[in-house]
Amino acid sequence: MTSAVASPGTTTASTLQENASPEKFRLMLMMALTLVTGVVDAVGYLALDRVFTGNMTGNVVILAMALAGAPNLPTLGPLVALGAFLLGAAVAGFTLQSSPQGWNRRVTLLLTAGCIALTGTAAVSLIVEDVGRQSIGVIVAAVIAMHMGSQALIARHLGVRDMTTVVITSTMTSLAGESLVGKQRPRLFNRRLGAVLAMFAGAAIGAILLQTHFSVPIGLGIAITAAVTVLGSRRWH
């Protein structure tokens, strides 16, 4: 008669296999949001007078150079986007501060609000011709930046390693300094490289779709964010 008791090695392997799927699923959701950041940053820079709506480092640098007297650089757009990003992060932080780490109804609510906000910007672009050249373009950039600030805080709250969804400089540093030469290579190389590629792909897709109409890349961002919201609320845990 064979024993029904599994060996410790078999039990451990089984446990790791069960845990791998949820971890990979969560990682893919964060990759999708990172791609959205690339899309909206391309839209902001190319169609909203060189305003980064997700990458605040770019806005800080542009604003500093403009204030130092460099010609043909915007000041109002980057400044408003910075403030809106901080406001979005603050609102999300206040909303999630008493929530346990991980996905919950408040995360779903915040991402749903973000989809509604992005839908509003797409609607404005359909009503106002060449929205980036109008004064309302600053407001559109601010609304997108506010959502991205909220998304960045949500990513911190969800706590998927190396997945900030809005910043890849630190991810690239870890990729080069740890994944390529360190002991963490087998486990973390793919996710760090994937985050960089997701941002790159999002920016490229955003630039291509922008040639059709402003609302098209924004619509893609809405669709991806909505899909992440639905899947995350159902399967995160």
| Span 171-206, pLDDT tens digits | 667 667 665 665 555 455 567 788 889 999 999 999
User: 132: domain range?
Assistant: 24-235
Any residues with CB less than 8 A from the CB of 114 and at least 6 apart, and which?
147, 150, 151, 225
Cα torsion 225, 94, 157, 60: sign:
positive
Q: Is 76 contained in some domain?
A: yes
How many structural domains are present in the chain? 1
DSSP state string for the chain: ----PPPHHHHHHHHHHHHHHHHHHHHHHHHHHHHHHHHHHHHHHHHTTS--SS-HHHHHHHHHHHHTT-TT--SHHHHHHHHHHHHHHHHHHHHHTTSPSS--HHHHHHHHHHHHHHHHHHHHHHHSTTGGGSTHHHHHHHHHHHHHHHHHHHHHHHT-TT--SS--HHHHHHIIIIITTSTTHHHHHHHHHHHHHHHHHHHHHHHHHHTT-THHHHHHHHHHHHHHHHHHHHH--
219: number of Cβ within 10 Å: 17
Q: Is 181 contained in some domain?
A: yes
Q: Is 3 contained in some domain?
A: no
Q: Give the number of residues written for the chain.
A: 237
Q: Is 162 contained in some domain?
A: yes
In degrees, to the nearest 5, what angle opens at C-alpha 164 toward C-alphas 161 and 166?
160
Whole-angstrom distance, CA of residue 17 vs CA of residue 150 = 33
Q: Is 10 contained in some domain?
A: no
Q: Tens of pLDDT along 19-60?
A: 458 888 999 999 999 999 999 999 999 999 999 999 999 999
pLDDT at 102 over 50: yes
Any residues with CB less than 8 A from the CB of 67 and at least 6 apart, and which?
75
**224, 36 in Cβ contact below 8 A?**
yes
Phi and psi at 182, nearest 5°, equal -100, -175
Q: Is 18 contained in some domain?
A: no
Which pLDDT score is estimated for 115?
98
Which pLDDT score is estimated for 111?
98
Tokens of 78: 């980057």
Q: Is 73 contained in some domain?
A: yes
Q: Is 1 contained in some domain?
A: no
pTM beyond 0.75: the answer is yes
CATH number at residue 37: 1.20.1250
